[in-house]
């Protein structure tokens, strides 16, 4: 009789934790938009332990897409000349509840900050594309994300941060 082995990483559930989409300059923006806007993407990974005595974590992929265009030369709709005009802002927090089993302590952080967001990313990418397309704009298609690089740069920033004396 063989024992069933529990996988080291289990995705229990995934869900949209928060979703916001706004077009602050509607309806005027639709009349002046002649080309795809410039989109700035910010991405962050947040982790929190669900219960202190268990290896169950909520991992959240927080994404913000902010699209802008140069303001028109003549200010017909309240935009300041020379200042970028916001086309849309999309904020998405997409989360998963993960159980870690038998993962060595020194591997827990990279699993939570690299592997877990890698599993969530395709779903968050689709939601962001759908919501921007449904908002009347070209869909925002997130390119591949180097979660290893993101994790390593976060580690370097934490290592470089000065420690205050008590």
Length of the chain: 166
State whether the Cα torsion 78-80-82-86 is positive or negative: negative
H or E, element range at 151? helix 147-160
- Quote the pTM value: 0.85
Q: Is the pLDDT of residue 119 over 70?
A: yes
The per-residue pLDDT for range 72-114, each reduced to its tens digit, is 776 555 556 668 999 999 999 999 999 999 999 999 999 999 9
In a domain, 45, yes or no: yes
pLDDT recorded at residue 80: 60
What is the percentage of the chain residues whose pLDDT exceeds 70?
A: 88
CB hemisphere CA count around 165 (13 angstroms): 0
CA 92 to chain CA mean position, Å: 6
Task: Classify residue 66: in a domain, yes or no.
Answer: yes
Query: What's the number of domains the chain is made of?
Result: 1
Is residue 84 included in any domain, yes or no?
yes
Domain CATH number, residue 79 = 3.10.420.10
Q: Is residue 4 part of a domain?
A: no
User: Which tokens is 55 given?
Assistant: 């290896």
- List the 38-49 sheet strands across, edge first: 9-22, 84-100, 56-70, 38-49
What's the rounded Cα separation, in Å, for the pair 92 and 63? Answer: 5
Expressed as residue numbers, the domain containing 120 is 9-160
């Amino acid at each position: 009789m063989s024992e069933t082995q529990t996988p080291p990483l289990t995705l229990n559930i995934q869900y949209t934790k928060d979703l916001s989409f706004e077009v602050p300059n509607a309806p005027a923006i639709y009349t002046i938009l002649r080309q795809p806007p410039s989109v700035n993407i910010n991405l962050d990974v947040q982790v929190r332990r669900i219960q202190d005595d268990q290896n169950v974590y909520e991992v959240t992929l927080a994404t913000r897409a902010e699209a802008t265009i140069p303001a028109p030369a003549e200010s017909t709709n309240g935009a300041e000349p020379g200042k970028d005009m916001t086309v849309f802002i999309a904020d998405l927090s997409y989360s998963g509840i993960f159980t870690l089993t038998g993962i060595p302590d020194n591997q827990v952080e990279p699993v939570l900050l690299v592997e877990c967001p890698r599993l969530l990313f395709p779903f968050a990418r689709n939601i962001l594309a759908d919501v921007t397309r449904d908002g009347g704009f070209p869909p925002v298609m997130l390119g591949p994300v180097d979660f290893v690089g993101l994790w390593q740069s976060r580690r370097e920033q934490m290592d470089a941060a000065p420690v205050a004396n008590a």
